[in-house]
Amino acid sequence: DAGVIQSPRHEVTEMGQEVTLRCKPISGHNSLFWYRQTMMRGLELLIYFNNNVPIDDSGMPEDRFSAKMPNASFSTLKIQPSEPRDSAVYFCASSNRDNRQPQHFGDGTRLSIL
Amino acid sequence: DAKTTQPTSMDCAEGRAANLPCNHSTISGNEYVYWYRQIHSQGPQYIIHGLKNNETNEMASLIITEDRKSSTLILPHATLRDTAVYYCIVKALENTGNQFYFGTGTSLTVIP
């Protein structure tokens, strides 16, 4: 079975540009999570969705970040305008809403803002 | 969710059992213990979870003490591919959502 699919795997862009990260969760999963990982702060939850509805976005750093889930099989995380401090690895994960179920992670998008 | 404490790093000889400890002395009765690992340049990978009883699957065994204040993840025959950062997480079912809080984990190095 296909796991969580993220694209692109790597993104290098100049500050000020808009960045869009994409995620396809595992089919049948109804919870989706966006994380950011840096050396300084480790793995941080940015936002999560249940049944395509954003439930908690308290981890989103600021208004430059936005996330959408238009349907059960697709989500985007957008940064506009991007800044060098946004450089990190961004992970998407999905799970069943049963709280005992583990999350399954994609391989991440390594983002570098110059 | 309860905080966890793990050693920063550990070494293990290839072929030997790797025993990774985790303290969660403030764990509540409704909180599960989960283990994930992250191999370099990959996303975190689920390993195992449990509530009270010891658990075993094809990857590892989880031993939870009777008072549930600590647990040990056991990789029975460590290989070089088990070199990774291992995260111990405790999480209640009654949280509004399914978010996991990852700490700094234990960096396990399997030595040839």
Within 13 Å and on the Cβ side, how many CA atoms surround B22?
31
B44, closest residue in chain A (CA to CA): A105
Give the count of Cβ contacts less than 8 A between chain A and B: 57
Binding-site residues on chain B for chain A (CB distance < 8 A): 32, 34, 36, 41-46, 49, 91, 93-104
Q: Which residues of A touch B60 (CB under 8 A)?
A: none
Instruction: For B17-31, give the DSSP string.
Output: PEEEEEE-TT--TTE
Chain B residue with minimal CA distance to A56? B97
Give pLDDT, residue A56. Answer: 86
Closest CA to B19 of B53, B66, B70: B70
For chain A, give the mean pLDDT.
92
- Contact B111/B14 with Cβ under 8 angstroms? yes
pLDDT-derived band at A8, boundaries 50, 70, 90 = very high
**Tokens 């065994």 sit on residue:** B61
In the predicted model, is pLDDT for residue A1 greater than 90? Answer: no
Contact A56 B34 (CB under 8 A): no
B30-84 pLDDT, tens per residue?
Answer: 888 999 999 988 999 999 999 998 999 999 999 999 999 999 999 999 999 999 9
B6-39 pLDDT per residue, tens: 999 999 999 999 999 999 998 888 888 999 999 9
CB–CB contact A42 B42 (8 Å): no
Please tell me which residue of chain A has the smallest CA distance to B89. A102
Cβ distance of A99 and B98 shorter than 8 Å: yes
Mean pLDDT of A67-88: 96
Query: Which residues are paired to B23 by β-bridges?
Result: B5, B70
